[in-house]
Structures are given as C-alpha cells and as structure tokens.
Amino acid sequence: MSKREVRLMQGNEACAEAALYAGVKFFAGYPITPATEIMEILSRKLPQVGGVFLQMEDEISSMAAVIGASIGGLKSLTATSGPGFTLKQENIGYAAMVEIPCVIVDVQRGGPSTGLPTLPAQMDVMQARWGTHGDHPIVVLCPSTVYEYYTLTVQAVNFAEMLRTPVIVLSDAIVGHLREKVVLPELGELKIVNRKMTTVAPKDFLPYKADEDGVPPFVNYGTGYRYHITSNNHDEGGFPATNNHQIADSLLRRLHDKVEKRRSEIVITEEIMTEDADVIIFAYGCTARSAYSAVEEARKKGMKVGLIKALTLWPFPFEVLLKYSKQAKHVIVPEMNLGQLAGEVERTLKDCPVKVTRLNRIDGRMITPEQIVSTISEVI
C-alpha cells in the first residue's frame, strides 16, 4: 500500500518542499513576486530541520551567501524573478568557474526591467543560458506542472551536486502560482545525489583534478585539507594560472565536457502523441499546458499533431527534434517571448525538410490552446 501523501499544492510550495526533500539545508534570498512564496515557506521550514534561512540585503549577496554555504558543504538554493536573476548573474558565473554546486530558481515574469509585474512570461530563456559573462556551461530545467516543479527541483539539486555546477530551475508566474493536486513522492522514492567526496590523502589532494567524468571530487574545509579557490583561471592545485594559455583552454573545455558527457541523463523531454505526427508542437513551461490541450483538440479534428515537451532547455535538446526531422513536416514553437528558443529549433532543423513556425505572445497573457490550434490549421 502506498503511503504517498496527496496535497493540493501551489507550484512555488512544491518547489520549496522539493528543496527540502533533496536535502537543501541553506537558502538565501531577497523578496520578489512571483517567487517570494518559496522563501516564505523555507523561512519557516529550514530552521525546523536545522538548516539556514537568510534574507539578505539584495540578490547579489543572496547568491554570494548561497555559494559561500555550498563551499561550507551545504546543499544550497536561492529563488528570484527577472530583475533579481539579473543581479545574481556575476556570482552564477563564479560558481560555474570554481565548480561550486548551487540551484537558482527563476520564476519568470514579463520584462525587460520591472516590465509586467507580475504577469507571466518566458523571457529569461536566454538570460538563463547566457546571462553571466564568459563561455560557461549551465543546466536549465523548466517545469510545466506543479508536480514537475517538484521533481525538477529535486533533479536540479542532484545535477548541481553531481556536476559541481550551477543549475537553474526556470519556472514562470503561471506554474509558480498554480494550485494542482500533487501525489508527493515518499522518502527514498526519488533518487538523491550528494557531491562526490575525495578519497585521497591531504598531501596528494588537488582540488581541481577531475576524475574521468570531468568532475573533481570535493572536500570540506576544516578537515585537514587546506586549499585555495579562485575565480581566476587556475591550475589543478586551485591557484591562479592567468598566464597559462594551455591551462585556460583545458579548464574551460573540461567545464563544458563534464556537462556534455552527462547529456543523456540531463536532457529530459517528453514525446506525446508524436508517433504519426505531421505537425509537432515544441513547447515548454506554462505554454506546454496550452500545447497539450491544443494537441488533444487537433486530434479530435483528425489532424496528426503531437507534442514535444522540453523539461530541459539547456543543454538544448536537439536530439529529440532530429528524431522527427524526416517524419514531421511542421514544427510549431509557441513561447511567451519573441522566439528565444525557436532560434535554437531553427538552427537544429536548418538542413531538414521541416518548416518551423513561431507563435509568440508578449503581452503578459498565456498563449491559448485556440491560438495554437489555429496556427496548426494555418500551416497544414
């Protein structure tokens, strides 16, 4: 008999609960709608489990504190929305460079700037990928239901710990504030990953010497291993090597390779009613909800339409698109921005006989199933 708890839950509440399930013991943040519920819930719950909740003076210091706590050995997470996400960017790059695990939840709202507070949007897709400077790796997960918000938050913590890199959960005001029935996973049901720890003696320890998988094992300070962390280009020993071009090249390539090596684990997509589809809707986040209804509607009308739902946005899931590059005649990409991910879809399919159609909405309202159905009718 299953002991699973069933609850009516808000998306942001699911995110906070999932963080605790994944073993997060540190949160630092700064209030911003539509993300604030995550910090409100964790401000109550983290002290109850011996964890740390800090409300910092801004998002820059929140991100810094999260990384500092992770250097201290705790699984750490922060949550924000567009303007705050921008302020966190420099330190996200720091975490990528020094390989410190952390999770950043961005509950998207309409921008640029304070834009449409606090209506939904999907305008941070590229900021999530390229928001911090430099050629860095990143993992971005995107839920479309409250349950996915839960499981992807657990996955985000796992991926961050496994890869020693920042991972972003890119939700939106719709999924963040939506209330849905959730069957909560039991303890032990979802896999929990902890960062790999070193097995070598202090005298042989090199903090940035990676294993085969490209990830260097971690060790806590205060345990006999004294080492240095610098955001400058650094050698395996962790010390600045800013005049060494060869080290600069191999370090950055390794940072990317460690993510690419785990592509099959990290890249999560769902294919729904695609077996015979001539038209494929490629959707993510709240828009995938409308796309699902649109596919059902179109099927009723006898149109062969399917849905690819991207749960991982970065690394971009090109493999699933290429799978349908011969079968499908059309791919429609609905998104609440002016085509941030459609550009990637077009790039993936540029040499294929598939026509990519964009469907964009930027007025703070959701793309409706009717809009998608009418786009389907137009393309076929």
In the complex, the smallest distance separating the C-beta of residue 98 from other proteins, rounded to whole angstroms, is 8
Regarding 57 and contact with other proteins (CB under 8 A), the answer is yes
Q: Positive or negative CA dihedral for 191, 193, 253, 341?
A: positive
d(CA 317, CA 161): 21
**Using the rule CB under 8 A, which residue among 65, 77, 279, 305 binds other proteins?**
65
Using CB under 8 A, count the residues that bind other proteins. 45
d(CA 172, CA 105): 10
Regarding 56 and contact with other proteins (CB under 8 A), the answer is yes
**Using the rule CB under 8 A, which residue among 14, 18, 77, 98 binds other proteins?**
98
Beta strand pairing status for 139-141 and 355-360?
A: unpaired
Regarding 227 and contact with other proteins (CB under 8 A), the answer is yes
Regarding 239 and contact with other proteins (CB under 8 A), the answer is yes
Regarding 64 and contact with other proteins (CB under 8 A), the answer is yes
d(CA 263, CA 259): 7
Regarding 87 and contact with other proteins (CB under 8 A), the answer is no
Regarding 223 and contact with other proteins (CB under 8 A), the answer is yes
Regarding 222 and contact with other proteins (CB under 8 A), the answer is yes
Instruction: Identify which of residues 49 and 322 has a Cβ nearer to other proteins in the complex.
Output: 49
Concatenating the DSSP letter of every residue in 277-322 gives -SEEEEE-THHHHHHHHHHHHHHHTT--EEEEEESEEES--HHHHH
The token pair at 225 is 């291993």
**Using the rule CB under 8 A, which residue among 72, 117, 185, 339 binds other proteins?**
72
Instruction: Identify which of residues 95 and 373 has a Cβ nearer to other proteins in the complex.
Output: 95
Residues 325 and 352 sit within 8 Å (Cβ to Cβ) = yes
Instruction: Identify which of residues 130 and 227 has a Cβ nearer to other proteins in the complex.
Output: 227
Instruction: Identify which of residues 61 and 371 has a Cβ nearer to other proteins in the complex.
Output: 61
Residues 28 and 66 sit within 8 Å (Cβ to Cβ) = yes
User: CB neighbours (10 Å) of residue 316?
Assistant: 18
What amino acid occupies position 216?
P
In the complex, the smallest distance separating the C-beta of residue 45 from other proteins, rounded to whole angstroms, is 9
d(CA 72, CA 108): 29
The 355-374 site mask, x for binding other proteins (CB under 8 A), equals --------------------
Return residues touching other proteins (CB under 8 A): 25-26, 28, 47-50, 52, 54, 56-58, 60-62, 64-74, 76, 90-91, 94, 98, 220-224, 226-232, 239-240
